[in-house]
A and B are shown apart, each in its own frame.
Chain A
């Protein structure tokens, strides 16, 4: 599984990253967690509100910090 976190380094983006890492660990999933910080790249994907989460190339969350339960559902 490939999890990408898009964000230009604001506090919300960092908290999403931490949350994803915790949950991946908790569920014991094999996943690559990639941070995308380049603004051009973020916009080229059609994201204008960060943070955003892509799972296996598909957009799942835009512009907000998800709850732990929500992320668990998405990652299962």
Chain B
């Protein structure tokens, strides 16, 4: 292993993520995420976070709304702070905080595409279920907690009513998702040429809808939002993926007889290789400590720890995917400021413990 080999092991992993099968799912996913940010009305959801809403409604909305509200992590923190301080309180707030980063559309699609559909689905279900559990625990532990209750209304935007019918909006999103599904489908099911033809037709349909039912300004905002998300997420993902490859190269240099693609995986296999409770615990602690930019958790599990090569078991992999993105150092600094050190520590411990068990159960049963 020379420095040049190490560099090339970074390039190799990068190439895997720039290959057609990843890009064909990521590009439509960015467009969908942009459309969600611009066209889906968030006001109707926000009202369920008020302090008057019935608790079971707040919890269920908080556990799934991350898919629509939290496309970018910079929106999660104001929402979290708002729900905690002015709205439904610590329980629904932590539910939202946990599920938000885990169930955004980009993360789900990339997980399913790169790591497999089973673990992608398990991640969604695990994140939603776990978020409610953690929220309920937090609400129970801090049930005597006093909150300022001086002025509990949340301002939402009333205007921006469009005259577009719901049918058109739904059709628009269905077409976007169709592009994603067909584009990502393996060429065993649909050969390349009909696939391109179908996607071309759907694109034309979408253009027709945009021309007749959406204003020029809305389309412009959609483009702006999509580009903005791509700019924010993609470079960091690609740099991160490259670094993952380089770490593999360095590890292969240090561990004799291993390849850059599996060095770390082989090294951690004794700890993360089995579907036992210790492996899950170990892996959720790693997830909580490591800072993972959006989407990079997929590369860390798949390439660095060798899930894609079968070196890491499905249980620890899911535990890391669940604990990882929801806790990061920059996030924790802000969260600690908002809810205090004690609550933040309890939250971290809860995440690690529950992720361990959910990963363990998945590893035992489904994975």
Contact for A63 among B153, B156, B232, CB less than 8 A: B156
Interface residue count on the A side (C-beta < 8 Å):
25
CB neighbours of B87 from chain A (8 A)? 48
CB neighbours of B232 from chain A (8 A)? 11
| B72 adjacent to A43 (CB under 8 Å) | no
Contact for A46 among B42, B75, B151, CB less than 8 A: B151
| B78 adjacent to A50 (CB under 8 Å) | yes
Q: Is A59 engaged at the interface, CB distance under 8 Å to the other chain?
A: yes
- Complex CA distance for A11 and B228, rounded to whole angstroms: 7
| B77 adjacent to A64 (CB under 8 Å) | no
Residue of A nearest to B79 (CB): A48
CB neighbours of A12 from chain B (8 A)? 228
| A65 adjacent to B221 (CB under 8 Å) | yes
Beta-carbon contacts under 8 Å, A1-36 to B: 8-12, 15
Contact for B85 among A8, A43, A50, CB less than 8 A: A43
Residue of A nearest to B72 (CB): A10
- Complex CA distance for A65 and B81, rounded to whole angstroms: 21
Residue of B nearest to A67 (CB): B217
- Complex CA distance for A46 and B80, rounded to whole angstroms: 12
Beta-carbon contacts under 8 Å, B133-188 to A: 151, 153-157, 160
Please list the residues of chain B having a beta carbon within 8 angstroms of any beta carbon in chain A: 42-43, 46, 49, 69, 72, 74-75, 77-79, 81-83, 85-87, 151, 153-157, 160, 217, 221, 224, 228, 232, 334, 338
Please list the residues of chain A having a beta carbon within 8 angstroms of any beta carbon in chain B: 8-12, 15, 39-40, 42-50, 52, 59, 61-65, 67
